[in-house]
Amino acid sequence: MRRLMTPRFSPLEGGLFSSVSKADVGEGAGELIKAGVDVMAWADPFFPDPSIPASVQTVMAEAVASGLPSHYTMPIGSADLRGVIAGKLGTRNGITADPSRNILVTPGSDSGLLYAMMPFLEQGDEVLVPDPSYPSNFANCRLLGAVPVSVPLRAEDGYQLDPAALEAALTPRTKMVLISHPNNPTGTVFRRDTLEALARFVVAHDLILVCDQAFEDHVFDNIEMVSPATLPGMWERTVTVFSVSKGLGLSGFRVGYLVADDRIMDVLYGGAVNVLGATSTLSQIGAAAALKDETILPAYFDILDRRRRLAHAAFSAVPGVRMQMPESGILSWLDIRALGTATEVSAHILRTARVLVNEGEPYGAEGAGHLRIVHGCFMDETRAVDAYSRIAGALQLLSRDSQLLPA
Amino acid sequence: MRRLMTPRFSPLEGGLFSSVSKADVGEGAGELIKAGVDVMAWADPFFPDPSIPASVQTVMAEAVASGLPSHYTMPIGSADLRGVIAGKLGTRNGITADPSRNILVTPGSDSGLLYAMMPFLEQGDEVLVPDPSYPSNFANCRLLGAVPVSVPLRAEDGYQLDPAALEAALTPRTKMVLISHPNNPTGTVFRRDTLEALARFVVAHDLILVCDQAFEDHVFDNIEMVSPATLPGMWERTVTVFSVSKGLGLSGFRVGYLVADDRIMDVLYGGAVNVLGATSTLSQIGAAAALKDETILPAYFDILDRRRRLAHAAFSAVPGVRMQMPESGILSWLDIRALGTATEVSAHILRTARVLVNEGEPYGAEGAGHLRIVHGCFMDETRAVDAYSRIAGALQLLSRDSQLLPA
């Protein structure tokens, strides 16, 4: 029945009739996990180790025992969680938000991201997307009939967005700029001057900014984390996408939230039941508990700061691998063009090191010859470091074969 | 920024700048619940009483204590839950489904319903929708750029779908038929002969059928519950939408599932991470436990069978109210045209009986002058019957004022 589908959907492949390389399609990584492979291809902190904090477990256990989370919250999210989120937005993002007018809880930030884009995009509209970035940033445009236009990020610029590249990509059909900030997969935190230039561009050309801040919670080296919605002229034209998946290590809860001006939010509230339904009540209770516990983020910050250094030391020591120190989060981004294609090198790592990593191509044209490795896996640091070593060992073999190393 | 939105979204209202009557928009019923009003306007069984069965609580408490539901499942749903669903589809629906090729778990059936429609609908396509039916059946078409075309259901036909009315609504732009079966709000279970005629129509005109079976679990009076996907020629052109919200009384879990032929499912699997993300891991664990516990449905069946009789006795006794005995589920559908408009009568019930019920208009043009009352509220039968009495008392007052009753 593909012939009855729209051209936006009919090209999609779920792995049932062809092999697909994306780890998140069909059974994808599921089969490999069963076969004992270490999966470092999910942006899922501490996977596969237990990681619900004790304080959150207590609150959720009480909720289960009450028997009450069988019931819906309002489609826009529970008032309690929205209140907690408003507090966090004030303290940590510098955003003054009314919980009943500016916040919409979503069942994870994936559906939140698509919903943030949906009201604005018409067939043929163009969306400027930094390249590389999260695969959905490109795919979502196509699903909505719009055209993603790549704006290259260069290693030599530290993967900062180049205002001149934005201007060069602008056409009369440009409707939106869509960024992940910090960026997935590069971990880049866009600096204030970059974002101020972006804001001037967005305002000058009457565009919408969708800014996915799923990775905002762990920004290292005292780099300033600026929310573009706080910049002049941007509040009324920005939809910001947040998540508890990454920072709080609660990806399985599927809780995200959108923040926007009430004139945008009136429309998003109006369609919430149709597009999103509502978010799991128990997950909302757990997310509120996690946001309230101020000990979680600092503890994870220290763990993940150490991990990125260990991962960087292991991977960047291999001749032929180029990698910058991650500025945020849980992701390593490796340029392995000297060793082979991403398909070749990831297959070699899977075979030799028994680790699944991400090929770079789904992250955009600039992702060719790159790998994304989720170094924030495992709660157990020994296991994480062992996996880094096995990956590095596999890369070393390729490096030697490529005569980049003396045999 | 409405001016930058598409015409599909810009008319939506979330209640921030105008008052909206739908209970599920903005804070909607939330404010009334806080004010102590009984809400019988959510299709949420047993609301607001505790209703997670003990067996399900045990499994969920263990999962929380393990710390593992912090992690994602595959976007298509956990293999365990899909396996349990496949068993249920075989036993209860007569559908032979491969858990890895025909089943997609969704974060509730609302997002599942939209996703089932999304691949097929192009700007201007027409969708035949029985009227009255679930408001999203009309609204989702508009959000996707399609046009919902009402196919009236008549009280004198017992709200069965009339094949002649389908034929009359057909145009060259017709792409899909979208039904809720059993129907929300009328509770109607479409009979085998009706569905066979529908199937012949769908096949003859090369259409897609989307069939929302959220209310399939409680069909009374030994009426046969036929899944249209099992009828000749229909498997390859039907997407069936299911839920654990209604039958198992677990609406707050937000777990639904889509079932379709693998050629359709390949596309739905391919876009799952973009459109849906994944479903709460803990909710999936709870849903699997609930589906495995074969004592839940029969117990709820008996409760809800009694409730519909009590509700019918209370409401249909009021002069000026016309109501058929519900064939399924938790919903009463009242024709109150003799007493006033739905807006007037529902406002009177809210004021006099302190109960929120649904106005009929959002359910389609045929819903004018009707009310939907969720008589399946409350675990406590005394409280339920008290609410029915208060509603009936409020209706009696109107009836007397309308001189339908001697003063």
Q: Are residues B60 and B26 in the same domain?
A: no
Q: Are residues A125 and A173 in the same domain?
A: yes
Question: For residue B242, is it within any domain?
Answer: yes
Q: Do B2 and A263 touch (CB under 8 A)?
A: yes
Question: For residue A84, is it within any domain?
Answer: yes
Angle in degrees, 0-180, between the axes of helices B262-275 and A109-117, rounded to the nearest 10: 90
Q: Are residues A242 and A191 in the same domain?
A: yes
Q: Are residues B106 and B172 in the same domain?
A: yes
Q: Do A261 and B1 touch (CB under 8 A)?
A: yes
Residue A42: pLDDT band with limits 50, 70, 90: very high
Of all residues in chain B, what percent carry a pLDDT higher than 90?
A: 94
Residue A107 above 50 pLDDT?
yes
- Bridge partners (DSSP) of residue A103 are A259
Q: Mind listing the pLDDT tens digit for each residue in A95-105? A: 999 999 999 99
Of all residues in chain B, what percent carry a pLDDT higher than 70?
A: 99
Distance from CA of B30 to the nearest CA of A (A): 7
Q: Are residues A114 and A158 in the same domain?
A: yes
Question: For residue B280, is it within any domain?
Answer: yes
Residue B136: pLDDT band with limits 50, 70, 90: very high
Residue B234 above 50 pLDDT?
yes
d(CA A323, CA A333) in angstroms, rounded, equals 6
Q: Give the residue ranges of DSSP H helices in A107-160.
A: 109-117, 135-143
Which residues of chain A does B279 touch, with a Cβ-Cβ cutoff of 8 Å?
A: 107, 254
Q: Mind listing the pLDDT tens digit for each residue in B253-306? A: 999 999 999 999 999 999 999 999 999 999 999 999 999 999 999 999 999 999
Q: Do A270 and B25 touch (CB under 8 A)?
A: yes
Domain of A366 in residue numbering reads as 20-51+296-401
| Host H or E run for residue A371 | strand A370-374
In the structure encoding, which two tokens stand for residue B265, read together?
């499912």
Distance from CA of A319 to the nearest CA of B (A): 34
Domain C-terminal end among A292, A323, A340: A292
Which residues of chain B does A269 touch, with a Cβ-Cβ cutoff of 8 Å?
A: 14-16, 25-26
Helix-strand-coil split of chain A, %, nearest 5: 45, 15, 45
Q: Which residue of B has its CA nearest to A253?
A: B280
In the structure encoding, which two tokens stand for residue A223, read together?
């780099």
Average pLDDT score over residue span A143-147: 98
Q: Are residues A256 and A382 in the same domain?
A: no
d(CA A110, CA B125) in angstroms, rounded, equals 27
Q: Do B79 and A20 touch (CB under 8 A)?
A: no
Q: Which of A12, A140, A274 sits opposite B114 (nearest CB)?
A: A274
Q: Which of A4, A65, A76 sits opposite B208 (nearest CB)?
A: A4
Residue of B33, B280, B377, B378 best to disrupt the A interface, most CBs of A under 10 A: B280
Which residues of chain A does B48 touch, with a Cβ-Cβ cutoff of 8 Å?
A: 68, 71
Q: Which residue of B has its CA nearest to A208?
A: B4
Q: Do A6 and B121 touch (CB under 8 A)?
A: yes
Q: Do A51 and B67 touch (CB under 8 A)?
A: yes
State residue B28's pLDDT score: 81
In the structure encoding, which two tokens stand for residue B112, read together?
């599942």
Residue A405 above 80 pLDDT?
no
Distances (CA, A) of A327 to A126, A152, A229: 29, 19, 21
Q: Is the ipTM of this complex over 0.85?
A: yes
Distance from CA of A6 to the nearest CA of B (A): 6
Q: Do A267 and B20 touch (CB under 8 A)?
A: no
Distance from CA of A42 to the nearest CA of B (A): 9
Distances (CA, A) of B38 to A277, A302, B48, B132, B352: 22, 48, 9, 25, 12
Q: Do A143 and B274 touch (CB under 8 A)?
A: yes
State residue B26's pLDDT score: 85
Helix-strand-coil split of chain B, %, nearest 5: 45, 15, 45
Residue A355: pLDDT band with limits 50, 70, 90: very high
Residue A30: pLDDT band with limits 50, 70, 90: confident
Which residues of chain B does A71 touch, with a Cβ-Cβ cutoff of 8 Å?
A: 42, 44, 46-48, 51, 251-252
State residue A22's pLDDT score: 81
What is the amino acid identity at position B369? G
| Residues listed for chain A | 407
SS (H, E, C) B119-162: CCCCCCCEEEEEECCCHHHHHHHHHCCCEEEEEECCHHHCCCCC
Residue-averaged pLDDT of chain B: 96
Q: Are residues A146 and A242 in the same domain?
A: yes
Question: For residue A317, is it within any domain?
Answer: yes
Q: Are residues B342 and B198 in the same domain?
A: no
Q: Are residues B197 and B136 in the same domain?
A: yes
Residue A377 above 80 pLDDT?
yes
Which residues of chain A does B264 touch, with a Cβ-Cβ cutoff of 8 Å?
A: 1
Q: Are residues B280 and B339 in the same domain?
A: no
Q: Which of B14, B70, B286 sits opposite A266 (nearest CB)?
A: B14
Q: Report DSSP letters for A380-407, one per residue.
A: -HHHHHHHHHHHHHHHHHHHHHTTSS--
Q: Which of B47, B123, B136 sits opposite A274 (nearest CB)?
A: B136
Residue B407: pLDDT band with limits 50, 70, 90: very low
Residue-averaged pLDDT of chain A: 96
Residue A358 above 60 pLDDT?
yes
d(CA A99, CA B21) in angstroms, rounded, equals 21
Question: For residue B407, is it within any domain?
Answer: no
Q: Which of A25, A254, A270 sits opposite B280 (nearest CB)?
A: A254
d(CA B252, CA A123) in angstroms, rounded, equals 35
Sign of CA dihedral A57, A61, A62, A68: positive
Q: Do B67 and A50 touch (CB under 8 A)?
A: yes
Range B78-81 contact pairs with CB under 8 angstroms and sequence separation of 24 or more: B78/B105, B78/B281, B78/B284, B78/B285, B78/B288, B79/A27, B79/A30, B80/B284, B80/B285, B80/B288, B81/B105, B81/B255, B81/B284, B81/B285, B81/B287, B81/B288, B81/B291
Instruction: Tell me which of A241 and B21 has the higher pLDDT.
Output: A241
What is the amino acid identity at position A376? G
Residue A406: pLDDT band with limits 50, 70, 90: low
Q: Mind listing the pLDDT tens digit for each residue in B77-127? A: 999 999 999 999 999 999 999 999 999 999 999 999 999 999 999 999 999
Q: Are residues B255 and B359 in the same domain?
A: no
Which residues of chain B does A283 touch, with a Cβ-Cβ cutoff of 8 Å?
A: 280, 282-283
State residue A383's pLDDT score: 97
User: Where do the DSSP E strands lie in A13-107?
Assistant: 38-39, 103-106
Residue A404 above 70 pLDDT?
no
In the structure encoding, which two tokens stand for residue A354, read together?
């028994």
DSSP classification of residue A89:
I
Q: Are residues B273 and B213 in the same domain?
A: yes
Distance from CA of A401 to the nearest CA of B (A): 36
Task: Find, among A306, A287, A335, A232, the residue nearest to A80 by Cα.
Answer: A287
Distance from CA of A44 to the nearest CA of B (A): 7
Which residues of chain B does A249 touch, with a Cβ-Cβ cutoff of 8 Å?
A: 70
Q: Mind listing the pLDDT tens digit for each residue in B150-172? A: 999 999 999 999 999 999 999 99
Distance from the first to the final alpha carbon of chain A: 55
Residue A318 above 90 pLDDT?
yes
Q: Do A143 and B14 touch (CB under 8 A)?
A: no
Distances (CA, A) of A142 to A149, A184, B162: 11, 19, 38
Radius of gyration of the CA atoms of chain A, in A: 21
Distances (CA, A) of B77 to A13, A30, A282, B73, B404: 17, 10, 18, 6, 55
Question: For residue B321, is it within any domain?
Answer: yes
Taking CB atoms and an 8 Å cut-off, how many pairs form between chains A and B?
336
d(CA B155, CA A338) in angstroms, rounded, equals 73
Q: Which residue of A has its CA nearest to B20?
A: A270
Q: Which of A68, A110, A279 sits opposite B273 (nearest CB)?
A: A110
Residue A252: pLDDT band with limits 50, 70, 90: very high
Q: Based on the structure, what is the number of domains in chain B? A: 2
State residue B109's pLDDT score: 97
Q: Do A1 and B237 touch (CB under 8 A)?
A: yes
Average pLDDT score over residue span B328-353: 97
Question: For residue B322, is it within any domain?
Answer: yes
Q: Do A273 and B69 touch (CB under 8 A)?
A: no
**Domain harbouring B258, CATH code:** 3.40.640.10
d(CA A61, CA A69) in angstroms, rounded, equals 11
Q: Mind listing the pLDDT tens digit for each residue in B366-391? A: 999 999 999 999 999 999 999 999 99
d(CA B209, CA B202) in angstroms, rounded, equals 7
Residue A26: pLDDT band with limits 50, 70, 90: confident
In the structure encoding, which two tokens stand for residue A225, read together?
């984390």
Q: Do B250 and A118 touch (CB under 8 A)?
A: no
Distance from the first to the final alpha carbon of chain B: 55
Distances (CA, A) of B398 to B69, B311, B336, B343, B394: 52, 18, 10, 13, 7
Domain C-terminal end among A270, A292, A314: A292
Q: Do B68 and A57 touch (CB under 8 A)?
A: no
Question: For residue A1, is it within any domain?
Answer: no
**Domain harbouring A314, CATH code:** 3.90.1150.10
Distance from CA of A167 to the nearest CA of B (A): 20
Q: Mind listing the pLDDT tens digit for each residue in A200-209? A: 999 999 999 9
| Host H or E run for residue B39 | strand B38-39
- Bridge partners (DSSP) of residue B259 are B103, B240
Domain C-terminal end among B292, B309, B334: B292
Distance from CA of B255 to the nearest CA of A (A): 8
Residue A407: pLDDT band with limits 50, 70, 90: very low
Which residues of chain B does A287 touch, with a Cβ-Cβ cutoff of 8 Å?
A: none
Q: Do A275 and B111 touch (CB under 8 A)?
A: yes
Are A107 and A255 in contact, with CB atoms under 8 Å apart? yes
Residue B224 above 70 pLDDT?
yes
What is the amino acid identity at position B234? M
Q: State the CB neighbour count (10 A cutoff) for residue A322.
A: 15
Sign of CA dihedral B241, B246, B251, B255: negative
Distances (CA, A) of B168 to B164, B171, B173, B174, B177: 6, 8, 13, 12, 13
State residue A2's pLDDT score: 92
Average pLDDT score over residue span A218-239: 98
Q: Mind listing the pLDDT tens digit for each residue in A254-291? A: 999 999 999 999 999 999 999 999 999 999 999 999 99
Distance from CA of A73 to the nearest CA of B (A): 7
Of the CA atoms within 13 Å of residue B257, those in its CB half-sphere come to: 28
Q: State the CB neighbour count (10 A cutoff) for residue A39.
A: 20
